[in-house]
Amino acid sequence: MEVFSEPYEKSLTIDLSVSPAKVRGFRNTYLLVPMESEYPTHSKRGMVVSKRLIDDSRVLWADTQQIKQRQKRDYQKLFEELQIPLVRSRRLKDDTEVVKRPPIPVYDRTFNDELWTQEWYMQDTRTRPDLPKLDLNVLPVYRAGITGKGVKISILDDGIEYTHEDLKTNYDPDISWDCNEDDNDPFPRYDPTHQNSHGTRCAGEIAMIANNGKCGVGIAFNAKVGGVKLLDGLVNDRIEGTALGFAHDIVDIYSASWGPNDDGKTVDGPGRLANEALTRGVTEGRGGKGSIYVWASGNGGDRGDNCNCDGYLASPYTISIGSASQRGEFPWYGEACASTVAVTYSSGAYQDQMIATTDLHNQCTIKHTGTSASAPLAAGIVALALEANPNLTWRDVQHLIVWSSEIAPVADNPGWQKNAAGLWFNTRFGFGLMNAFGLVRAAVNWTTVPPKAICVVKPYPLNNNTISYGNPVTLTFETTGCKGTQQEVRYLEHVEVRTTIHYSIRGVLEIYLTSPAGTQVQILNKRKLDDSTKGFKDWTFMSVTTWGELAQGIWTVTVIDNVGPESNTGSVENMQINLHGTVVLPNHMKHGARNYNHDYNRVHNRVGKAQIKYKERDIHDFLSDLANGDAGDYMNKY
């Protein structure tokens, strides 16, 4: 199977018994599939096709499509025994399992849905105010009448059971597609293993219908969801690229809870077409405001994995979302990573609750888990912000998450550091736990961030680029931030380190990035299961740790092997730093460093016995008050 691209709209004849077809969503890009079954993809015939295409002056590029290993980011089967809560349970009439709990406080009766009482991450069920805050602060947003209405979210996964009673009125067929079968029906394939429930579960977290007595309440319960099915079959670059770019003119948010294997030894990411789709999404999507890609940060923590070895999570175009447990702790499956932007709640230790959502066969579940469950919650919170302010760009959304996420609920964990811009960061939790009301409140009166530039910095010449056990290599980069050029950067957003490194054992390497202000972050930890001799070939690591800092000055990157054996040897062949940011200080940062609410844990969302009710007029009045800075006691309360 070959994919190739032509520079112009003109015919190209290849007399090799293949059938060309346009690749959906890509201009002048074609797929060639052997017509006869006796010619498999990896045969010599395929090599001949590739060579003929590459040698043709009318062809810009040609790739043989390789199968990509992709993994859904819920709990791994190896640890299923740890998922069983040590509590008694009962069965609802629809055979849904629900954990038995103490008597339900009156504020839990906000919605009449059967699993609402199990959605602990949307209502504060603490019995003591000194405990970490237990919700994502969404109830005040609902009281303002903001529920995700008018926002479209695409679930990139294994399909959606769009006939489900708790999803069907929020399903949008216009943003749905089956990339595996190349048709417009993303309904999941049933089988005895229940393996294709993942997309339906992710969709339910976002868009379960409120107050219909079925399952639970989606975090953006009036948003529309679609399903792009790509994980029920062989996956390659063409399929991923098609999924990432499908309906980008009308989709607001793409939610992805999958990626390369979280096995502690894989280094993989988007291919040519997937990268092109991401780039096109943020530049052309949503009428030029940019598609928003929310990605689960991975479940390989128990295997020592690092999400910077996943090219999707190391992309500035995605928002990497990790997990915090019900206890406000870093879960055993979490991956500490410099590219993580924020966290939402998910499962933790065996005694912690999991996430409630829809399941296959019109059923419900309270056992959705892993970072798979965290990313859809983040996507739903972003949907609430987009309803409040549809003009937000993809970069506005990232700035808003950085500026509004809270550290108090997860503060009692190691690894927190304050960068030179006054922002707290932790490779386990990013900039903190997402705060729905804080994000929406900031979004309403938001000023669009200045245009983005990318300053590329090369290192000083290396006298010795050789790495060996106990002998690190430190590369120094001095920059003015490309001052005086069109790519000048003063105020940082993402920082990329792009490099090629050869080494005896890839998994023993650690890489540290230090900013001119002295902020240091580990962008690669050692991975004990990675015994590959391939090193890193033109690989990009990414960090958000220095967000808001000044770009100008001396940067250093240190590559070290502290594991051994002593015979290990290798070299850094090339390296560059890409500084993403702006030349003008974003408006929200002009009044100084962020003022953190260290009393955030004291906010206890109890909305009373009555169900949440609102009128359209109330929404407009509230948004107007927010925009004018006149929300009064309501603002102070939450």
What is the rounded distance in angstroms from the CA atom of residue 433 to the CA atom of residue 413? 13
DSSP 115: T
| Beta bridge mates, 319 | 294
Nearest-angstrom CA–CA distance, 201 and 179? 19
From the list 112, 87, 108, 82, the residue with the least C-alpha distance to 97 is 87
Q: Which residues have C-beta within 8 Å of that of residue 18, sequence separation ≥ 6?
A: 2, 32, 33, 34, 35, 49
How far, CA to CA in Å, does 483 sit from each of 123, 451, 489, 544? 49, 15, 7, 22
* C-alpha distance from residue 355 to each of 218, 317, 502, 518 (Å): 11, 27, 42, 39
Which H or E element spans position 99?
Answer: strand 97-99
Q: Is residue 378 classed as helix, strand or coil in its secondary structure? A: helix
Active site residues: 157, 198, 372
Cα(48)–Cα(46) distance, rounded to whole angstroms? Answer: 5
* Rg of the chain taking only CA atoms, in angstroms: 25
What is the separation of C-alpha 163 from the centre of its chain, rounded to a whole number of angstroms? 27
- Give the integer Cα–Cα distance in Å for 310 and 259: 7
> Residue 527 burial by CB count (10 A; 0-12/13-18/19+): exposed, middle or buried?
buried
Which uninterrupted H or E stretch holds 617? Answer: helix 616-627
Report how far residue 137's alpha carbon sits from residue 119's, in angstroms, rounded to the nearest whole number: 12
Please tell me whether residue 267 adopts helix, strand or coil conformation. coil
Residues sharing a CB contact under 8 Å with residue 66, sequence separation 6 or more, in sequence order: 236, 237
State the Cα–Cα distance between residues 110 and 119, nearest whole angstrom: 12
CA distance 358 to 361: 9
571 DSSP β-pair partners? 466, 502
